């Protein structure tokens, strides 16, 4: 009887359906983060960006939800929306997925799994967006060689910083600190917004091709030019009378446009100027976006005093206390001999410099000339040495037996007005052996495109730069400079204080007067940046 009773009880127990309880939010988060150590943290199959910080963050808070405050959620969404104004894509930061879950939460309720999804997406979004503001969306050095700027340092203990940010309800201020602090970044964003607004209204007026237009000419195309320059802000107003006449006001506007586009500001509307006027507004918007990305790579916390060479703009400038105190045209490396992009520290100046030819120049350019003309070295004021520095008589050398693979000599050009480095060079030690220097070929500075060197930067206002850096007009003036030049002695001059110098590549910039400049993409770098920038973040993971 007892056995029968026990059997019946067991049958009844097994016949009753057992309902498994839904895992809690904490259990969902814990299993998602630590369920399988060999798998990434995902949400609906999407691998999250932050595979280190997210697990640390939730482990430290015992897998409790982080985004429970309405203000934090609202501020995060508004911040992600504003990514568009930074030239970034809100969808990279799970914008629509977060919105969908929030909408479902408002209309009904979320499962514990969905609550975990929403929290993970928002946490990943703020870390990813902060990373892009601080470092850029793309990996600069992988897009193109010779971009050697160190990444901006990430904050330490991101998980703890995020905890404090959410506790103090400081989402927006925290993200703001991640953006470049330089005024140019803020002004470029203003221009991006303005051009996008103009594009939505139809863009810029069309400008027709034709013969060169000059002051005092009367031509129907002048009206198109006036409309265009009014739209771009170079011409204040259309004017009511003589709209088809090329007057002084229009010439001034044309010169301003030419200056802003890296053209010779002669006031004549020729082929080059027309070509720039015919660039679609969408292309200019793209240029601003990709250069905002470059600014995120390099301009977060600029020094109080620094030099900057914009390779694409063919200029070197010095900024002190955020004010431009020096400006000079420069010549940069030609295509396939590109000037590198990096940050250095200028330490000293050399007057009456000698020039030791790089091995590549000595073997690829000088050696073939020596084989044809043994007197070439003497004509160019050059001397030859062995690897130990011992002077050799070039007339005793059979140059025909040497090639790039077995060239055992050092060739050096003597100091003097003939020297390829001119009368002065400015040294910031670096692995590229690049520096700023003078040149005897002064006429090249008048060229519109000034990419002629093998990588070094030739500076037009050499003495202006020297006196600016020495900052002691009573001692370092032209009288002192001429005295050293006359001596013919190679003279090293240490700077009073080393100064940081940035060699950068920007094809769109803004100045403090809010003028927007566009420069030629002389190294053909823009397309690659623009293309990668448009890709969703999960399509460019290989570049990070």
- Give pLDDT tens digits for 406-439: 999 999 999 988 899 999 999 999 999 899 999 9
- Give pLDDT tens digits for 223-275: 999 999 999 999 987 665 558 899 999 999 999 999 999 999 999 999 999 99
Non-local (6+) Cβ contacts of 157 within 8 A are none
By DSSP bridging, strand 424-427 and strand 341-351 are: antiparallel
Q: Rounded to an integer, what distance in angstroms lies between the CA atom of residue 503 and that of residue 342?
A: 5
More confident residue, 2 or 137: 137
Please say whether the dihedral angle defined by the alpha carbons of residues 499, 502, 507 and 511, taken in this order, is positive or negative: negative
More confident residue, 238 or 330: 330
DSSP string, 119-162: HHHHHHHHHHHHHHHHH-SS-HHHHSSSEEPPPPPPPS-HHHHH
Closest CA to 305 of 114, 499, 96, 138: 499
pLDDT at 514: 92
Give the confidence band of 25 by pLDDT, cuts at 50, 70, 90: very high
pLDDT at 9: 47
- Give pLDDT tens digits for 300-310: 887 889 999 99
pLDDT at 155: 82
pLDDT at 93: 96
pLDDT at 544: 41
Give the confidence band of 67 by pLDDT, cuts at 50, 70, 90: very high
Contact 210, 199 (CB under 8 A): no
Closest CA to 123 of 68, 175, 60, 50: 50
Q: Rounded to an integer, what distance in angstroms lies between the CA atom of residue 234 and that of residue 354?
A: 46
- Give pLDDT tens digits for 342-400: 999 999 999 999 999 989 899 999 999 999 988 899 999 999 999 988 999 998 899 99
Contact 445, 430 (CB under 8 A): no
Contact 439, 461 (CB under 8 A): no
DSSP string, 85-106: GGT--GGGGTHHHHHHHHHHHH
Closest CA to 117 of 181, 59, 52, 45: 45
DSSP string, 114-129: HHHHHHHHHHHHHHHH
pLDDT at 499: 97
Is residue 151 predicted with pLDDT exceeding 70?
A: yes
Q: What is the reported pTM?
A: 0.87
Give the confidence band of 539 by pLDDT, cuts at 50, 70, 90: low
Residue 145 CB-density burial (10 A; 0-12 exposed, 13-18 middle, 19+ buried): exposed
**In CATH, what number does 305-354+417-506 get?**
2.40.440.10
Q: Rounded to an integer, what distance in angstroms lies between the CA atom of residue 432 and that of residue 400?
A: 30
Q: Rounded to an integer, what distance in angstroms lies between the CA atom of residue 355 and that of residue 333?
A: 17
Q: Rounded to an integer, what distance in angstroms lies between the CA atom of residue 82 and that of residue 100?
A: 18
Contact 426, 465 (CB under 8 A): yes
Sheet of strand 391-392, all strands in order from the earlier edge strand to the far edge: 355-356, 410-413, 382-385, 391-392
Tracing tokens 């050799």 back to the chain, one arrives at 392
Instruction: Please count the other Cβ atoms lying within 10 Å of the Cβ belonging to residue 492.
Output: 10
Angle 90-293-196 from CA coordinates, rounded to 5°: 60
Tracing tokens 């303005």 back to the chain, one arrives at 194
Non-local (6+) Cβ contacts of 471 within 8 A are 496
pLDDT at 16: 47
More confident residue, 14 or 165: 165
By DSSP bridging, strand 424-427 and strand 147-148 are: unpaired
pLDDT mean over 482-501? 95
Instruction: Please count the other Cβ atoms lying within 10 Å of the Cβ belonging to residue 428.
Output: 20
The full set of domain ranges for the chain reads 25-181, 187-283+527-543, 305-354+417-506, 360-414
Closest CA to 261 of 308, 229, 293, 227: 229
Long-range contact pairs involving 147-153 (C-beta distance under 8 Å, separation at least 24): 147/340, 147/341, 147/342, 147/505, 148/340, 148/341, 148/342, 149/297, 149/298, 149/341, 149/342, 149/343, 149/502, 149/504, 150/343, 151/297, 152/297, 152/300
Is residue 208 predicted with pLDDT exceeding 80?
A: yes
The per-residue b/e assignment along 351-389, b for 16 or more CB within 10 angstroms, e otherwise, is bbbbbebeeebbbeebbeebeeeeebbeeebbbbeeeee
Give the confidence band of 299 by pLDDT, cuts at 50, 70, 90: confident
DSSP H/E element including 418: none
Q: Across all residues in the chain, what is the average pLDDT?
A: 90
More confident residue, 16 or 326: 326
Is residue 12 predicted with pLDDT exceeding 60?
A: no
Contact 146, 341 (CB under 8 A): yes
- Fold equal for 187-283+527-543 and 305-354+417-506: no
Q: What is the CATH architecture of 187-283+527-543?
A: Orthogonal Bundle (1.10)
- Give pLDDT tens digits for 69-91: 999 999 999 999 999 999 999 99
């Amino acid at each position: 009887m007892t056995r029968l009773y026990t059997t019946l009880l067991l049958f009844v127990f097994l016949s009753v359906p057992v309902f498994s309880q839904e895992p809690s939010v904490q259990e969902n988060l814990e299993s998602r983060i630590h369920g399988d150590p060999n798998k990434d943290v995902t949400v609906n199959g999407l691998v999250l960006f932050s595979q280190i910080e997210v697990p640390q963050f939730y482990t430290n808070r015992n897998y409790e939800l982080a985004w429970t405050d309405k203000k934090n959620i609202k501020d995060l969404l508004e911040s992600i929306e504003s990514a568009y104004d930074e030239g970034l894509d809100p969808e990279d930061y799970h914008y629509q997925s977060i919105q969908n879950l929030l909408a479902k939460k408002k209309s009904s309720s979320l499962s514990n799994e969905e609550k975990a999804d929403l929290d993970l997406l928002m946490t990943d979004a703020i870390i990813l967006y902060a990373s892009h503001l601080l470092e850029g969306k793309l990996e600069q050095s992988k897009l193109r060689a010779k971009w050697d700027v160190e990444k901006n340092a990430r904050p330490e203990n991101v998980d703890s910083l995020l905890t404090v940010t959410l506790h103090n309800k400081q989402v927006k201020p925290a993200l703001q600190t991640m953006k470049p602090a330089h005024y140019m970044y803020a002004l470029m964003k203003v221009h991006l917004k303005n051009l996008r607004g103009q594009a939505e209204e139809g863009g810029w007026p069309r400008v027709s091709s034709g013969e060169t237009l000059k002051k005092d000419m009367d031509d129907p195309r002048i009206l198109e030019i006036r409309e265009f320059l009014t739209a771009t802000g170079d011409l204040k107003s259309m004017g009511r009378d003589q709209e088809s006449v090329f007057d002084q006001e229009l010439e001034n506007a044309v010169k301003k446009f030419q200056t802003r586009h890296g053209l010779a500001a002669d006031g004549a509307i020729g082929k080059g100027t027309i070509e720039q006027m015919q660039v679609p507004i969408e292309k200019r918007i793209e240029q601003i976006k990709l250069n905002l990305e470059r600014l995120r790579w390099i301009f977060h916390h600029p020094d109080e005093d620094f030099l900057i060479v914009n390779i694409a703009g063919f200029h070197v400038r010095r900024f002190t206390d955020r004010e431009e105190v020096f400006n000079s045209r420069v010549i940069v490396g030609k295509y396939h001999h590109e000037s590198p992009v990096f940050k250095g520290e200028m330490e000293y100046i050399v007057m009456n410099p000698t020039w030791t030819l790089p091995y590549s120049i000595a073997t690829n350019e000088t050696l073939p000339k020596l084989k044809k003309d043994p007197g070439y070295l003497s004509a160019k004021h050059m001397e030859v040495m062995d690897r130990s520095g011992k002077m050799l008589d070039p007339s005793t050398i059979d140059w025909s037996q040497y090639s790039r693979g077995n060239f055992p000599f050092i060739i050096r050009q003597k100091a003097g007005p003939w020297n390829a480095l001119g009368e002065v060079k400015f040294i910031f030690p670096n692995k590229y052996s690049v520096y700023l220097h003078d040149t005897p070929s002064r006429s090249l500075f008048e060229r519109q495109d000034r990419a002629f060197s093998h990588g070094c930067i030739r500076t037009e206002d050499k003495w202006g730069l020297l006196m600016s850096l020495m900052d002691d007009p009573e001692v370092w003036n032209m009288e002192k400079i001429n005295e050293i030049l006359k001596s013919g002695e190679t003279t090293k001059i240490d700077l009073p204080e080393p100064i940081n110098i940035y060699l950068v590549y920007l094809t769109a910039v803004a100045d403090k007067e809010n003028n927007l400049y566009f420069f030629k993409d002389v190294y053909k770098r823009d397309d690659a940046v623009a293309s990668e920038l448009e890709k969703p973040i999960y399509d460019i993971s290989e570049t990070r």
